[in-house]
Amino acid sequence: MKDQCLKIVKEFLDRYLVDERPIILAISGGPDSLALLHLMCVCRQFFDMDLHIAHVDHSLRPES
């Protein structure tokens, strides 16, 4: 499954990544966000991208 997800993210970046524009990835801290963060970090070896991470703990839920 990881290979399939990586392939999808790489295809997305091939299509939509604009040279020299930073990517800001908003992360909630949940499993989906962390999986996407991991895939994007892996993709850095294939793409020249300026990756930034944004996280806000809004404390609206007890588990946040």
- 55: nearest Cα among 26, 22, 24: 26
CA 36 to chain centre: 4
- Domain positions in the chain: 2-54
* More confidently predicted of 64 and 30: 30
Spatial separation of the C-alpha atoms in residues 4 and 32, rounded to whole Å: 15
**63: pLDDT strictly greater than 80:** no
Q: What is the pLDDT of residue 12?
A: 94
Q: Where are the beta strands (DSSP E) in the chain?
A: 23-26, 51-54
Q: In which band, very low, low, confident or very high, does the pLDDT at 64 lie, cut at 50, 70 and 90? A: low
Over residues 8-57, the pLDDT tens digits come to: 999 999 999 888 889 999 998 889 999 999 999 999 999 999 999 999 88
- 11: nearest Cα among 43, 37, 49: 43
Q: In which band, very low, low, confident or very high, does the pLDDT at 7 lie, cut at 50, 70 and 90? A: very high
